[in-house]
Structure 1
């Protein structure tokens, strides 16, 4: 029986407890970066391509549930079980602002212009803090029926998409009226929302269902039922592929159109809580209960082997050509 090729990922150590969120920056003039949030309370920033550790943001007194960079990757925001959201200088590691809450902060994110952050969590409230006036009271959106698991800016920051901890659906809040304006139904609570860079596509996980949405109409355009419950999924920025991870500890790459499994990556020793494609689409990262981040090539192991064999054959032909061309010279000598 033929041996099935297996990927060898880049393994990023450093966290001592489970990884609960990972996020990439866009591509900047200095490359792109990977943030990780962990229950060890020490969010980290890494080189997004190599996985090399760059720094740890010290200061939280509880698990960190959320960690995200702004678009230029100059600042990061974190949300924690210590009832605070904090803004940091991503270059120096200095803490710039700390915003106190009355319960666990599960999600924290910069606006597109980096002037504001939004936070949400077990208080059942969404807050928007103006970083130009950090001492001012935040805008507050109240009335969520459940804790807020994840919130993301949408539609040029005029709307916020929310997933609640134990309520199904995707819930849209208007940042101008501070009210919930729409709910899009899902069968089960949504565990992960990912927006494409342009905001035109949304990927969601809910139980075994992974769904892909046209955000203009908020309609499902593709849905796949997985074999296992998936906690997180990510759509390739260009190619028709998506990656997903969940309770079974494996990270799987799928064909977007058919749902066919293209590769199953083994290596984690606990459930996979988060997956994300790098902004260039060349790789994707996974974070697990085992406290590690693993970076996998989008090119499958079989494709890598085939490419290596092709390169080796090309080199052999090149060497043969060189030897053939050199033979008359040697004879003349």
Structure 2
């Protein structure tokens, strides 16, 4: 499984995202730049320039028409995927740490940081998809402040106007964005900050990773914990393999935080765990520092990891990956 090394960033990666078709991979970084790549060969398609700070987060709609990004320059930006043009910019008092489209591309949710006397805020904007997309409402459709621990990650669930959030305290919660009410929560989902949240393709369950060295799969309606994967290193990202019974975990502490031996052993490797049996089945090495973000192709044919070293490693799976049955054959029931 020879990786394709994508060199288009000068600073650590913050998030990777495949589009729904899977032919494009989007990356953002602390170097203020967003890049688009062809996923089959790693060729860089283009760059989205305009941010004046770390781009923390990016998401693309299911039609690959609009891209949305959140940055440390306190802006949320809407981009035309094909042209690279910035269509609209929303400005806030603090940095935007997470953005996500809903299922029908009509809304985006964003989290802004708690800082300088401002509370953590969750805003939902309605996206005007008419004409060229440059005419957007400056005011959010909904705005509320989560009470207690600040939110770090979020996504729309399958239920209309309901989002799932991960928090600094380790809590995972469900909010009705129309009322701003938190109507379901699991206070002990994790023991430390939730670092990533990725949905299954049908949005019925999600996986979260945390600084407590644990990843968990949750039901997005009830927040019931379905599976738990316990590691010995801080986790920065977790992703679901759509066609095989695996989850992919990545993390590690920056140099100086951990011992040299632990860094050599496991910290900077993408780790594959069996989704059902909760046991580790393999590791893929390559990064020279912590893995900050992992994304899996929607068809499950490849995955990409982005590191603190500024590199993206794009791996296309060999036949052996699809044929492997580490714990015997599991037949899916209809």
Both structures adopt the same fold (TM-score exceeding 0.5): yes
**TM-score normalised per structure 1:** 0.83
Runs of 4+ in structure 1 displaced over 4 angstroms?
none
Q: Size of the alignment, in residue pairs?
A: 294
Which of residues 105, 111, 114 is equivalent to 2:96? Answer: 105
Residue range with higher mean Cα deviation, 229-238 or 81-90: 229-238
Asked if 1:135 corresponds to 2:129, the answer is no
Once the two structures are superposed, residues 45-73 of structure 1 have per-residue CA deviations (whole angstroms, 9 ceiling, x without a partner) of 11123222111101000000001111111
Which of residues 192, 195, 198 is equivalent to 2:196? Answer: 192
Asked if 1:290 corresponds to 2:294, the answer is no
> Contact between 1:122 and 1:146, CA under 8 Å: does it hold in 2?
no
Which of residues 122, 129, 134 is equivalent to 1:126? Answer: 122
2:230 corresponds in structure 1 to 225
Asked if 1:269 corresponds to 2:265, the answer is no
TM-aligned CA deviation for residue 136 of structure 1? 4.2
Q: Distance in 2 between matches of 1:268 and 1:62?
A: 24
Residues 127-166 of structure 1 mapped to structure 2, 5 A cutoff: 127-132=123-128, 134-138=136-140, 139-164=142-167, 166=168
Query: Which consecutive residues of structure 2, in runs of 5 or more, have no partner in the other structure?
Result: 115-119, 129-134, 253-266, 325-334
Residue range with higher mean Cα deviation, 203-212 or 258-267: 258-267
> Contact between 1:229 and 1:246, CA under 8 Å: does it hold in 2?
yes
Q: Distance in 1 between matches of 2:111 and 2:31?
A: 20
Which of residues 201, 206, 211 is equivalent to 1:202? Answer: 206
Residues 26-105 of structure 1 mapped to structure 2, 5 A cutoff: 26-27=20-21, 32-105=23-96
Q: Distance in 2 between matches of 1:81 and 1:109?
A: 17
> Contact between 1:162 and 1:170, CA under 8 Å: does it hold in 2?
yes
TM-aligned CA deviation for residue 19 of structure 1? 0.3
Q: Distance in 1 between matches of 2:153 and 2:290?
A: 19
TM-aligned CA deviation for residue 114 of structure 1? 2.2
Once the two structures are superposed, residues 161-201 of structure 1 have per-residue CA deviations (whole angstroms, 9 ceiling, x without a partner) of 1122x212112110221222221231322111111110112
Asked if 1:23 corresponds to 2:26, the answer is no
> Contact between 2:11 and 2:309, CA under 8 Å: does it hold in 1?
yes
Q: Distance in 2 between matches of 1:150 and 1:161?
A: 8
SS of residue in 2 equivalent to 1:269: coil
> Contact between 1:69 and 1:110, CA under 8 Å: does it hold in 2?
yes
Name the larger-Rg structure: 1
TM-aligned CA deviation for residue 117 of structure 1? 1.7
Q: Distance in 2 between matches of 1:183 and 1:201?
A: 15
Query: Which consecutive residues of structure 1, in runs of 5 or more, have no partner in the other structure?
Result: 1-6, 308-333
> Contact between 1:121 and 1:147, CA under 8 Å: does it hold in 2?
no
Asked if 1:12 corresponds to 2:14, the answer is no
SS of residue in 2 equivalent to 1:168: coil
> Contact between 2:292 and 2:306, CA under 8 Å: does it hold in 1?
yes
Asked if 1:178 corresponds to 2:174, the answer is no
Q: Distance in 1 between matches of 2:12 and 2:173?
A: 28
SS of residue in 1 equivalent to 2:182: strand
SS of residue in 1 equivalent to 2:190: strand
Q: Distance in 2 between matches of 1:155 and 1:235?
A: 17
Q: Distance in 2 between matches of 1:57 and 1:118?
A: 20
RMSD of equivalent CA atoms: 2.0
